[in-house]
Amino acid sequence: MTDQSRKKPNVIYILADDMGYGDISAFNENCPFKTPNLDGMCENGMRFTDAHATSAVCTPSRYGILTGRYNWRSRLKSSVIGGYSEPLIEEGRKTVAHLFKEEGYRTAIVGKWHLGMSFAKTDDFYEKPDFDACTGVDYSAPVSFSPITNGFDYYYGISGSLDMPPYIYIENDRFTALPDHISKGEGKGFWREGPTAPGFIHENVLDELTDKACEKIEEYKDAPFFLYFPMPAPHTPILPSKSFQGKSGTNEYGDFVLHCDDVVGRIVKKLKDEGIYEDTILIYTSDNGCSPMADFRELKEHGHNPSYVFRGTKADIYEGGHRIPLIIQWPAMIRKGAVCTELVCLCDLMATMAEYFGRCLPDNMGEDSVSSLPLWLEQGHGGVREDLVHQSIDGSLSIRKGSFKLEMCPGSGGWSDPVPGKEDKSLPRFQLYNLENDIGEKVNVIREYPEIAKQLRDILKGYVENGRSTPGSRQSNNGQRIWETIAWLDEDDDSLELYSRE
């Protein structure tokens, strides 16, 4: 799309933290509670039923959203980073925020960053395991390589997850206060013990961040803006406000989902109040599937499954780990009540907006991003993506093409059974599922379709080695070359033994 006479739309990207596909009632006919504001977005926009994060955990999926690049190309090959970690986005790499700025947009992020930044440190600083609190940090000094370095004009939020210290708001490149006490949460309201600023109350953070997001909408309303709003919920600590406690009829997690739904209602109301509702693209999605911290057993007793019909949870290579709800509302351009069943990925935002702006991305930007604009506007027939690569928390990869999905590990690669290292030794080394007739990934058909498994493995190998999955010149991956850590990439055995552990 090259018509530059059209007014450039505002873009608000709301990212839930650990919300499952089945947590929105419009996506789940068996959901025991209603999410009226998210359902309203579906009624007034487009609902995507085959949307995916690049990863089954939060740091890497956020990297994919902002860079348009598969997260496993970064130095982070597995797991996530913490609240004190160094920046993950490479110096000099352009993000989707840079793209918006180059188009004359004001850009802001309010919420959870969780992609690393550099704090002023003393010589005795070291990053502790399990994301625990660190000493040797000067909270009075400026922060470097924050979101401000990554294309955003304004930042207000927290460095990591709300269960990772430090518990202090950061505004632009400064902490807003010095910590004056240590706090800790328990149970579903868990957060790690750590330094906390005066007045920083975990139970209030979601609403305080929503207040700030609404302030930026009001401030930016007279010119096109991009607002990235990564909420800290319904991730732990699971702390719904009093007005939502007990309202879901399930447990605290269900109540927290309703709190998140209310946040969406507040944002929509603000857009209408400011007169910019029609010309704003409002996107709602989640960074990965629901965490087991929600207590799936307890939720099941109340008739709820956050993973819907999909196998697995957050962290897993299975669909429940990375298939997420995605809703896009754009009253001026997207048909009301539209449903898209085509394969899409959260890393596609960059290429989608570039096409809308009539821009061609350079070869070293958005290497794995594919434009979904034809899907948004319902132009043509069929999908835009040939395939899609996913990653679990332990670094295992999978590739989906058509109805077949090849998973390069014998188990979940995450937290569900079979957990990594404890799989049944009789299991095949890899898994192949036909999602068309086995959406629950129950029957591994790799022995029946070895030629399909080989084809998918070769495509994946090419994407790893070429540093990109879209047309363009070959690029480099960061950190240790990932194929040196994955033995299957160097195997040329075409026989079934390639996929057997027997």
In DSSP notation, 5-70 reads TSPPPEEEEEEESS--GGGSTTT-TT-SS--HHHHHHHHHSEEESSEE-SBSSHHHHHHHHHHSS-
Q: Which of 352, 376, 400 is at the close of a domain?
A: 376
Q: Domain check: are 306 and 424 in the same one?
A: no
Spatial neighbors of 275 by CB under 8 A, at least 6 apart, are: 221
How far apart (Å, rounded) are the C-alpha atoms in residues 28 and 23? 7
Question: 3-class SS at 488?
Answer: helix
pLDDT tens per residue across span 217-245: 999 999 999 999 999 999 999 999 999 99
Q: Domain check: are 230 and 335 in the same one?
A: yes
Per-residue pLDDT band for 366 (boundaries 50, 70, 90) equals: very high
Q: Is residue 180 part of a domain?
A: yes
Look at residue 498 in the predicted model and tell me its pLDDT.
56
Chain-wide mean pLDDT for the chain? 95
What letters, b where the CB count within 10 A reaches 16 and e where it falls short, cover 117-156? bebebeeeeeeeeebebbeebebeeebebbbbbbbbbbbb
CB 160 within 8 A of CB 112: yes
For residue 113, pLDDT over 70 is answered with yes
Look at residue 485 in the predicted model and tell me its pLDDT.
52
Q: What DSSP assignment string belongs to 446-458?
A: TTT-HHHHHHHHH
Domain residue limits at 30: 10-376
CB 334 within 8 A of CB 45: yes
Q: Picking from 134-143, 170-179, 262-271, 415-424, which range would have the lowest pLDDT averaged per residue?
A: 415-424
Which element (helix H / strand E) includes 460?
helix 450-466
| Strands, sheet with 280-286, edge to edge from the N-terminal-most edge strand | 174-175, 170-171, 154-158, 106-112, 225-230, 10-16, 280-286, 326-329, 46-48, 338-340
Q: Domain check: are 421 and 487 in the same one?
A: yes
The CATH number of residue 454's host domain is 3.30.1120.10
Q: Which of 355, 376, 397 is at the close of a domain?
A: 376
* Closest CA relative to residue 156, chosen from 139, 175, 141: 175
Q: Is residue 4 part of a domain?
A: no
List the structure tokens of 427: 């299991």
For residue 495, pLDDT over 60 is answered with no
Average pLDDT over residues 402-410: 97
Q: Is residue 27 part of a domain?
A: yes
How far apart (Å, rounded) are the C-alpha atoms in residues 213 and 249? 29
Q: Give first-to-last CA distance, the chain, whole Å.
A: 53
Q: Is residue 338 part of a domain?
A: yes
The H-assigned helical ranges of 103-221 are: 205-220
pLDDT tens per residue across span 174-218: 999 999 999 999 999 999 999 999 999 999 999 999 999 999 999
Question: Strand 338-340 and strand 46-48: pairing?
Answer: parallel
Q: Domain check: are 299 and 349 in the same one?
A: yes
Q: Domain check: are 159 and 277 in the same one?
A: yes
Q: Is residue 5 part of a domain?
A: no
CB 82 within 8 A of CB 98: no
Q: Is residue 1 part of a domain?
A: no
Q: Domain check: are 420 and 440 in the same one?
A: yes
> How many structural domains compose the chain?
2
Average pLDDT over residues 152-166: 98
How far apart (Å, rounded) are the C-alpha atoms in residues 368 and 375? 17
For residue 4, pLDDT over 50 is answered with no
Q: Domain check: are 248 and 135 in the same one?
A: yes
Question: 3-class SS at 225?
Answer: strand
Peptide bond preceding 166 in cis form (omega within 30 of 0): yes
Per-residue pLDDT band for 407 (boundaries 50, 70, 90) equals: very high
How far apart (Å, rounded) are the C-alpha atoms in residues 225 and 217? 8
Q: Domain check: are 142 and 279 in the same one?
A: yes
Q: What is the pTM of this model?
A: 0.97
Q: Is residue 94 part of a domain?
A: yes
Look at residue 493 in the predicted model and tell me its pLDDT.
53
Which element (helix H / strand E) includes 175?
strand 174-175
CB 145 within 8 A of CB 91: yes
How far apart (Å, rounded) are the C-alpha atoms in residues 406 and 401? 9
Q: Please state, as a whole number, how many other Cβ atoms lie within 10 Å of the Cβ of residue 448.
A: 11
Q: Which of 310, 343, 376 is at the close of a domain?
A: 376
Question: Strand 106-112 and strand 154-158: pairing?
Answer: parallel
Q: Domain check: are 370 and 392 in the same one?
A: no
Burial class (CB in 10 A: 0-12, 13-18, 19+), 91: exposed
Look at residue 380 in the predicted model and tell me its pLDDT.
81
CB 420 within 8 A of CB 394: yes
For residue 468, pLDDT over 80 is answered with yes
pLDDT tens per residue across span 431-463: 999 999 999 999 999 999 999 999 999 999 999
Per-residue pLDDT band for 116 (boundaries 50, 70, 90) equals: very high
- Using CA atoms, how far residue 330 sits from 267, 283, 307, 333, 334, in Å, is 14, 9, 27, 6, 5
Q: Please state, as a whole number, how many other Cβ atoms lie within 10 Å of the Cβ of residue 90.
A: 14
Per-residue pLDDT band for 502 (boundaries 50, 70, 90) equals: low
For residue 381, pLDDT over 90 is answered with no
Q: Is residue 381 part of a domain?
A: no
Q: How many CA atoms lie within 13 A of 315 on its CB side?
A: 16
List the structure tokens of 273: 């109040």
Per-residue pLDDT band for 3 (boundaries 50, 70, 90) equals: very low
Average pLDDT over residues 380-390: 92
DSSP state of 114: -
Q: Domain check: are 438 and 337 in the same one?
A: no
CB 437 within 8 A of CB 448: no
The CATH number of residue 257's host domain is 3.40.720.10
Q: Domain check: are 34 and 109 in the same one?
A: yes
For residue 73, pLDDT over 90 is answered with yes
Peptide bond preceding 240 in cis form (omega within 30 of 0): no
Look at residue 480 in the predicted model and tell me its pLDDT.
74
For residue 487, pLDDT over 70 is answered with no
Q: Domain check: are 211 and 338 in the same one?
A: yes
